[in-house]
Chains A and B, each alone.
Chain A
Amino acid sequence: MSHEELFEVAPLAALGVLDPALQRAFREHAAACPACRRELDSFAPALTGLALCLPSPRLRPGARDRLLAGLPARPLRPSPWRAALPVAAALLLALALWAQQRAVRAEGRSRELAEALAAEREQAALLGRELDEAATVSRLLARPEARLVSLGGQPAAPDAGARVVFHPETCEAVLLVSGLAAAPAGHVYEVWVIAGPVPIAAGTFQANAAGEARVRLPVLRETARVQTFAVTLEPAGGRPAPSGPLVLAGTVS
């Protein structure tokens, strides 16, 4: 079916009344078509309205307490594209463990090996994080709606440069930095998303020994209408509003 025909049935898709094959076709098309997704979302208030207009009988007392008393532990819920990471990390760990166990049997140097194991674990975790961020970058870059902004080094860090890849609808964003000296002791770099009069804090980071950093920014609504991405040097832990020198800035064209 054409885009026009699918756009036309968006109100029916929002209600979920299309026959299953067509409902599926709409879902697949909308996943890649921002106009159809917007049209679909525009019916959300109507759907909610159909519930809001109903009379609301009182719930039996005690229902709230039962709910709160019986809450299950919250599972950590990695995003789907991170699903492969635990497997990779587990494999690395298993490999490390196997190597360690062999070594223990052969040489009995348990303390040294425990340290090595800890280092392996740390390395696996680091690798996991890097994979995670790399996956976000490549996934973002693959999306035709993704946008790229260059950030220039400011007088406080003239050799630094950076880019932000972001998706204006899902508001995912990744910052890639190069040529940035490590922050002085007790300091970190802090990212700001500026979409209005007040810059919104978007996390802190450190540059590595090569002067590079890859930072996945939190999903912020402001990213949808961002005008400027900026980085400042701030005391450790970051600040709710920028207070230190500006090191990188780039305006969305």
Chain B
Amino acid sequence: MSPATEAAADVMTRLARGEEAALAELYDRLSGLVNALALRILRDPTEAEDVVQEVFVQAWRQADRFDPSRGRPEAWICTITRTRALDRLRRRVARREDPEQEAPEALHATGTEESLAVRRALAGLTERERAALELAYYEGLTQTEIAARLGEPLGTVKTRIRTAMLRLRRALEPLAG
């Protein structure tokens, strides 16, 4: 286990014991990531900030549900964030509100090896593969909804998403550790 992974696992152990300092540490490390994802999904900075608060309160309450054998804390936090942000997005769609504010100017896209690998892999996808993947991940549409949105047969959409996911997985494999 790398020292960084070990430190991350340690934060989660302390969080599960109810140490507020561990939550502060987790927040310092991951609030940017949570905000970025919530903002990309909701395109509304105020709502994104609400999601950030909700995500860390949920992490505080449910830290004992984190299972290190199934992934890193980042993955767990991202799943919570995506679920919460997509819930809000769906409620908004149901109310037919759509502020569609433009996200504020991209300040600093992180330049970690991992994010660069993802960006390279995304750049290597066809435009249609990327579009299908983005509708799935950032808008939470089902495969049938994506097919309707893109005007493509369901089978084609499934293949595109599958190809995109396999490429992303392969691009990140060398960094796993």
- Give residues in A with beta carbon < 8 Å to B: 8-9, 11-12, 14-20, 41-60, 63-64, 66-68, 70-72, 74-75, 77, 169-171, 221, 224
* B residues 106-140 touching A (CB-CB < 8 Å): 106-110, 112, 114-115, 117-119, 121-122, 133, 136-138, 140
- Check B103 for interface membership: any CB of A closer than 8 A: yes
Q: Restricting to B21-45, which residues have a CB under 8 Å from any CB of A?
A: 23-24, 27-28, 31-33, 35-37, 39-40, 45
B140's nearest neighbour on chain A, judged by CB, is: A16
- The answer to whether B72 touches A52 (Cβ under 8 A) is no
Q: Please judge, given known A-B contacts A15-B136, A59-B35, A77-B62, whether A46 and B69 are in contact too, CB under 8 Å.
A: no
CB of A61, distance to nearest CB on chain B (Å): 12
Q: How far is the CA of A51 from the CA of B83 in the complex (A)?
A: 13
Q: Are B161 and A55 in contact (CB under 8 A)?
A: no
Closest to B45 in A: A57
B8 at the interface (CB under 8 A from A): no
Are A75 and B61 neighbours in the complex by a CB distance under 8 Å? yes
Count of chain B residues near A, Cβ 8 A: 75
Shortest Cβ distance from residue A83 to the other chain B in the assembled complex, whole angstroms: 15
Are A47 and B79 in contact, with the CB atoms below 8 A?
yes
Contact partner of B52 (CB less than 8 A), chosen from A14, A59, A74, is: A59
Q: A51-B37, A224-B69 are in contact. List 15 more A-B contacts (CB 8 A).
A: A12-B158, A14-B165, A17-B136, A19-B144, A44-B70, A50-B168, A51-B78, A52-B33, A53-B115, A59-B35, A63-B31, A64-B28, A64-B31, A67-B53, A77-B61
In the complex, are the beta carbons of B119 and A60 less than 8 A apart?
Answer: no
Expressed in whole angstroms, the Cα–Cα distance for A53 and B125 within the complex equals 15
Cα A194 to Cα B158 in complex, Å, equals 44
Q: Is the CB of A55 within 8 A of B75?
A: no
- Is the pair B69, A59 in contact by a Cβ cutoff of 8 Å? no
Q: List 7 A-B contacts (CB under 8 A).
A: A15-B136, A46-B172, A49-B117, A54-B37, A55-B36, A57-B106, A64-B31
CB of B158 to closest CB in A, whole Å: 6
- Give the CA-CA distance A168 to B95 in the complex, in Å: 46
Contacts A11-B162, A15-B136, A63-B52; is A46 near B169 (CB within 8 Å)? Answer: yes
| Complex Cα spacing A58 to B39, Å | 11
Question: Is A44 in contact with B61, judged by CB distance below 8 angstroms?
Answer: no
